Structure 1
Amino acid sequence: MLSAARIFLLFFLFWSVSAEAQNPADARRNGERAYANGRWAVAEAQLALYQKAKPGDLDVLSKLGIALFQLSRGEESRRYLEYVAAKDPGRKDPELFYYLGRVRHGLGDWDKAIIAYKQYLRVSGDRHPLRAHVTDNIKRCVTGMQAIQHPQIALVENLGDRVNTAGDEFAPIPSLNHADRIYFAAARQGSSGGERNDDGFEDTQRGHWCSDMYAARLLNSGWEMQGSLGGLLNTSRFEVPLGFNNNGQILYFFRGYTLYSGEIFADTAATKDEYSMQLPAFKSPVNAEVSDCNPLFYNDHTIIFASRRQGGQGGLDLWWTIRTDSAWTEPQNMGPEVNSPYDEDMPFLSKDGATLYFSSNRLESIGGMDVFRSTYDVKKRSWTSPVSMGLPVNSPEDDVYFRLSSSGHAAFFASNRLGGHGQRDLYIAYYQENQPEQASLSETAIFTRSDQNNIESQEIREITIPSLAYTSDQDVLSADNLKIIAQVAALTRNYPQATLLITTHTDAGAQPKFDLYNGIKRAEILGKAMVDRGIPASRVLLRCVGSGYPIAREVLDAQPNPAAAALNRRMEMSLVAIENLPLKQSIERPLVAAFMAAPGAERLAEQTSGLSYRVEAAITRQILTNDVISMFGDLMIETQPGSGAYQYTAGIFKQYNEAANLRKDLVNQGFTEAKIIAYINGIRLPKAEAVALLKKYPDLAGYIRG
């Protein structure tokens, strides 16, 4: 039998012969197609085959040089491009001279880069899209000639080929709890989402690899891959880690079909890096759909992010928002002290809260995006003029996602500087000494709420919302009810910070499971009516509490009360928010004679006001037929319009430990996925958002840890 080595040798020889035998015209055609689609490795390989078979074609050599530049192979790129320029001195090819300038620029040959850029300006038309960029790059070359070494940086080092690949590694996040670990994003071969085009569709011809989240660890031998964060977090979409909360137990990350369209999610990271099955969306003013990107989460109640939203200085600007109690303030621009007409992006705020790092392509950079540093002047109450981090942190290419380690002895960043392994690589900068701004977490409130439109300054409005009576599904949208629905829809539109809570109450039927399910289906009818009137489904919360909170006694003097059923069947609407609203609301209910009145409505309002806990027993798509659930009190079903998912909960408690006891009982009765949910004023509170409310509600500590 042939040995494995001989089999491999024969296969290699066969492959080599096949490659050599490829038709040169096919190689050129394939190479130019890959070149047009930005698939640089394929383009370089195919065009190199053509060049070997038919050497000397200047168009092919020019494309080869550009592909090599994109692959960070600077010296090889320079040889090809300079050969073409020397061979055809009269060549009027703007792309050739642009990339000849770029590669010389990237290699730090400032004078010759300027010469190539000026050649580009001579041969390109006045309307060529890169003219302004090239003019700026000439100025950046002049800045590069004067660049100095950062006095505190001892060494900048690539994390090596055990971490970096020919793909795109970016967004390094140092672990808060493990000094030898980082998390990062990588769009590399084998990523979960495959290859997708700019519209987010799978495309093996024009697409590029989606990004997944990974971890790397420092061993004695150097940095090594620890692996992907797994299928629970990495999906067929783009995922990018954004940061951790203060104690490192909540991971914030981006997920979207493109890097410019998606949502922020929060996930609890246990000590063994295990992640929750359900990932709550993180609600804040940061919205990728309106160009917001790269948020930094600082001290659990401050977010700094980049955005092109109106009101900025130009390009991407840095903005901030803070959380008061639980409502995020309207984002504020960081002003001309920090922002410029160019791009400011990827902020990092050190522990002292007064040292800001970010990347910018302003003219003070030496190439693309450089890292800048600004400090907050407490006396002047303003940020100082940003200063470049200098060499060797900055390079003539893009240096981005700069973050100090927790101790301040090093910083991690991504760069596509020439000489790397592929697109962007991860780098580490070692400091001579620990940076003092990372010594301790500051309590100084540099970012404070400045808007005057908060609820304290608004006039409190008093409103009364009538309850809706019904007998059957057809009655929900009766003529009388529709008038009330229209009024409540208009009211809801006037308070965009509020959630419309719709609660269905039923009379006592033979089996609670049918009361609950029929009630939530009727709530869905009302919820759809609100969506049809312009209220987003995300702002409508539907729940059915069955017959658990009557306003009329079902039994009087040991006899059924025939009037109770019609009185108790009602649907109530109210506006709720985690933070107080400038509203004083009351619900107009049917009049009930004192001798038959029941305190159910008051009891529900008291139990759900402020912080409360319930235990979610199950999430279903249809009715829950397990009669065991009827053993437990305060049963509810929750959903949202169009969701189709029904969340069954039991119990209402003011203390976390009481809810924990009920959860154990539910698990023992077969509801093995039961979990505790915290609520503020009837609104579910994800753990990621609960952190900011710990000071106001200390009992949340158990919920966050649990």
Structure 2
Amino acid sequence: MQQRYLICTIVLIFGALGLFAQETLSDKKKQATNFYYLNKYQSAQSVLLGIKKNRQDDKETKLLLALCYYHLNQLKEAEPMLRHILETERSPFPETWLYLGKIYHDRHEFIKAIEYYKLYLKAIPSNHTNRATVREDIRRCATGLALQYKTPRAIVENLGNTVNTPYDEFAPIMSPNFTDRIYFSSVRPGNMGGSRNNFGQPDEVMGRFYSDIFTSQVNKGIWTPPQAMHHLLNSPKHEVLLDFSANGKALFYFKGSSYTQGEILIDTFRVGSRTLSSDPFIGPVEAAAGLSSAQFIGDTMAIFASQRPGGYGGMDLYKTVWIRGRWSAPVNMGPDINTSFDETTPFLSRNGQVLYFSSNRPDQSMGGFDVFRCLLIPQINRWTNADNLGVPVNSAGDDTHFRLSRDGYTAYFASSRKDGLGERDIYAAYFFDYLHEMSAPISAPAPLYVQTSAPPKMPRTNPDGSIAEPDPREEVSPRGSLNLKPFYFNQDGQWMQGPDGKQLDELVEALKKNPQLKLVITAASRQELAVSSRLYGGLKSAENLAQYLIGKGVSPTALQLHSIPPPPDFTSNFKTLTFQLSSLGESAFSSKTEPWLSGYTEDSGLLFRIQVGQSTSVLQNPLLSQDRYAMGEKSQSNGTYFYTIGRYNSYTEAKTAFNKLSNQTGFATFELVPFVNGIRLSRETAGSLSKMYPDILSWLEAKN
């Protein structure tokens, strides 16, 4: 993530230093700028600290030294230096605000980070090349604010200074034969070929080591010192391990003079005989390493990242399969996976049903690259929407190369987070719950869904990089639609099919084809019963219909059941059910619900209700009979009935009403619950919607 700013920052600082060099800059100071330009921050820092104290006071030197501390993960030293520049300089470089924003971003102090990012935007020209990038980082901070409320799925630990160094470690791969061993690539002193410049020539001073492949194993909970692979495998070029064959006897690896120029080789290295036989991989997989890393699955399929014509923008994920003795042409994995940003470092689970990958999409990632998870829905051969794994797997840095171990509890990945030892470190994630996608081996190519139609048009952008308003003359893509009529039960609870059976079939088809949709079924009855009994009876009727839909293949998690006491002008002799197709985000499917109760409309947008109790049957609470918006609720994935009152459009309004109930018996069990489009929000789903509905943040913060 940090490299996006480097060129502009260097041009500014170096330009000033160039003018200053004619009079007062020493050769050491010039050398420091050269080291910084080559990302050799430790060398640049050493040179700057060696300059005499009275020469370290000019603002260019102070800023350059502060940035060296930042890039070396020494944030405690960088922050006061940057603040001192703001306090003492009449016209500080705009990068001072930028890097303070980045420090707070790295610490997950997102509100402060946004504040400094905005100060930076005010300080730079309107045509500055960094504007679009910083706007994206502001959006990532907003995403981070939402993700911090997501319940953690794992704990994460750095593999420590035995494995990691102040340099670059990345691309961890678990051994297919030994559960206690991993392989990874590293750029560190001692690698084959020594330090080399950008032309591949030896250069001990200004050069950089190329990546070699290492292996380490854990012994009694401690990782052993990494061992470099044999010299017949590692070379003066970059080597990056990509994957192992199905039987573990061969490995796929990248070799090249740069991470974007090279070849993929298949190695049958045997340690005992010290022989190496590498054959070129003949196939369409991108011959690149780093973020383009590929996964080879069961010797019959490969998934890889590539930026090629016809994609959605940036790097997309593609798949190729081994069929009839050759690898097929790459197929884009489609809009369920890919976006106009970058999708990289894929990992498909053993059962072929869950895909993990990293992406830098700003509306869903909190840092540069975050790790996402998609589930395949075999019945319709589609992927679910990408789910961010959240903290602590993801951070404000780049989190990539995520791969699960066969034990179903452990994953390894690379991260550039600022609490690490170097540029990137290897981390382990230990999941609280067993990940069932690792329980069954792959015996054939997984039925991956891929896009077969042309990719959507990219949105138009303004000169400053922001999204332009859509052109009303542009064609709007068609959307599915369904007109929903009320449905009726008799007083014995038997539902009346009649002409409405066709509507039920249409609902089943819509829910299967659009897994992001939820069906809210709301019941009402004018039976001469207490409100609490009517709410419960309505839910039982809704459950009757829900069981029919589930029997037709609808997922229980797609159904949400409500029951309300209708107003006096409700005249139906039957228990009446109305339907509302909803989603928490944008949907390619629309529905229209026919009016059925005067004064009642389908829920849309954000609403708050007060939950006054829960029960496995009828809830006896006088508040239910006193409130026109009393509601019973049940999710088909939970056997409990929940009962709420009130219908408030803002958190402030809901909290005021909530406080007025403070003298009611059982108040301690009451709680405020948010709903979006009629769907109850959990803490996790609420966090992901806080950018769309900022009032949710007030609710989340109050629950902390």
**Normalization by structure 1: what TM-score?**
0.58
Taking the aligned partners of 1:293 and 1:237, their CA distance within structure 2 comes to 17
1:164 aligned onto 2:186: no
Alpha carbons of 1:134 and 1:74: their partners in 2 closer, same or farther (altered >3 Å)? same
Match in the other structure for 1:287: 286
Match in the other structure for 1:67: 68
Shift of 1:221: 5.1
SS of residue paired to 1:218: strand
Q: Which residues of 2 match residues 200-279 of structure 1 at below 5 A?
A: 200-220=200-220, 222-270=222-270, 276-279=275-278
1:44 aligned onto 2:45: yes
Match in the other structure for 2:83: 82
1:347 aligned onto 2:346: yes
Taking the aligned partners of 1:261 and 1:447, their CA distance within structure 2 comes to 31
CA contact (8 A) 1:409 1:435 kept: yes
Taking the aligned partners of 2:42 and 2:334, their CA distance within structure 1 comes to 42
Alpha carbons of 1:290 and 1:236: their partners in 2 closer, same or farther (altered >3 Å)? closer
Which amino acid is 2:346 matched to? P
SS of residue paired to 1:116: helix
Alpha carbons of 1:152 and 1:131: their partners in 2 closer, same or farther (altered >3 Å)? closer
Match in the other structure for 1:322: 321
Alpha carbons of 1:46 and 1:108: their partners in 2 closer, same or farther (altered >3 Å)? same
Taking the aligned partners of 1:96 and 1:451, their CA distance within structure 2 comes to 44
Per-residue deviation, residues 197-221 of structure 1 (Å, max 9, x unmatched): 4444444454321000000111225
Taking the aligned partners of 2:288 and 2:106, their CA distance within structure 1 comes to 33
- Structure 1 runs not aligned, ≥5 long: 1-22, 453-706
Shift of 1:190: 1.4
Which amino acid is 1:80 matched to? M
Shift of 1:120: 1.6
Match in the other structure for 1:311: 310
After TM superposition, the structure 1 stretch with the greater mean CA deviation from structure 2, 362-371 or 442-451, is 442-451
SS of residue paired to 1:85: helix
Q: Which residues of 2 match residues 370-449 of structure 1 at below 5 A?
A: 370-443=370-443, 445-447=445-447
Q: Which residues of 2 match residues 548-627 of structure 1 at below 5 A?
A: none
Taking the aligned partners of 1:198 and 1:111, their CA distance within structure 2 comes to 40
CA contact (8 A) 1:305 1:320 kept: yes
Q: Which residues of 2 match residues 111-130 of structure 1 at below 5 A?
A: 111-130=111-130
CA contact (8 A) 1:292 1:305 kept: no
- Structure 2 runs not aligned, ≥5 long: 1-23, 453-704
Alpha carbons of 1:377 and 1:147: their partners in 2 closer, same or farther (altered >3 Å)? same
SS of residue paired to 1:196: coil
1:177 aligned onto 2:205: no
CA contact (8 A) 1:409 1:431 kept: yes
Shift of 1:55: 4.3
SS of residue paired to 1:146: helix
Shift of 1:26: 4.0
Which amino acid is 1:245 matched to? S
Taking the aligned partners of 1:232 and 1:65, their CA distance within structure 2 comes to 42
Q: How many residues align?
A: 428
Shift of 1:445: 4.3
Shift of 1:27: 3.4
Per-residue deviation, residues 462-499 of structure 1 (Å, max 9, x unmatched): xxxxxxxxxxxxxxxxxxxxxxxxxxxxxxxxxxxxxx
Taking the aligned partners of 1:207 and 1:228, their CA distance within structure 2 comes to 21
Shift of 1:352: 0.9
Alpha carbons of 1:208 and 1:128: their partners in 2 closer, same or farther (altered >3 Å)? farther
SS of residue paired to 2:263: strand
Alpha carbons of 1:144 and 1:324: their partners in 2 closer, same or farther (altered >3 Å)? same
SS of residue paired to 1:335: coil
Alpha carbons of 1:324 and 1:165: their partners in 2 closer, same or farther (altered >3 Å)? same
After TM superposition, the structure 1 stretch with the greater mean CA deviation from structure 2, 354-363 or 288-297, is 288-297
Shift of 1:444: 6.0
CA contact (8 A) 1:410 1:434 kept: no
Match in the other structure for 2:8: none
CA contact (8 A) 1:51 1:57 kept: no
CA contact (8 A) 1:322 1:447 kept: no
**Normalization by structure 2: what TM-score?**
0.58
Shift of 1:94: 3.3
Per-residue deviation, residues 89-139 of structure 1 (Å, max 9, x unmatched): 542x23333222212211112122112211221122233222111000001
Shift of 1:234: 0.3
Taking the aligned partners of 1:134 and 1:182, their CA distance within structure 2 comes to 36
Taking the aligned partners of 1:402 and 1:252, their CA distance within structure 2 comes to 17
Alpha carbons of 1:89 and 1:409: their partners in 2 closer, same or farther (altered >3 Å)? farther
CA contact (8 A) 2:298 2:445 kept: no
CA contact (8 A) 1:24 1:50 kept: no
Taking the aligned partners of 1:223 and 1:448, their CA distance within structure 2 comes to 36
CA contact (8 A) 1:114 1:138 kept: yes
CA contact (8 A) 2:383 2:449 kept: no
Per-residue deviation, residues 244-294 of structure 1 (Å, max 9, x unmatched): 111211111100011110001111255x57664221111111133799931
Which amino acid is 1:171 matched to? A
Alpha carbons of 1:126 and 1:197: their partners in 2 closer, same or farther (altered >3 Å)? farther
Taking the aligned partners of 1:309 and 1:189, their CA distance within structure 2 comes to 35
CA contact (8 A) 1:267 1:275 kept: no
Taking the aligned partners of 1:48 and 1:72, their CA distance within structure 2 comes to 17
Larger Rg: 1
Per-residue deviation, residues 313-347 of structure 1 (Å, max 9, x unmatched): 10011011101032111100011111111110000
CA contact (8 A) 2:293 2:304 kept: yes
CA contact (8 A) 1:181 1:215 kept: yes
After TM superposition, the structure 1 stretch with the greater mean CA deviation from structure 2, 274-283 or 323-332, is 274-283
SS of residue paired to 1:165: coil
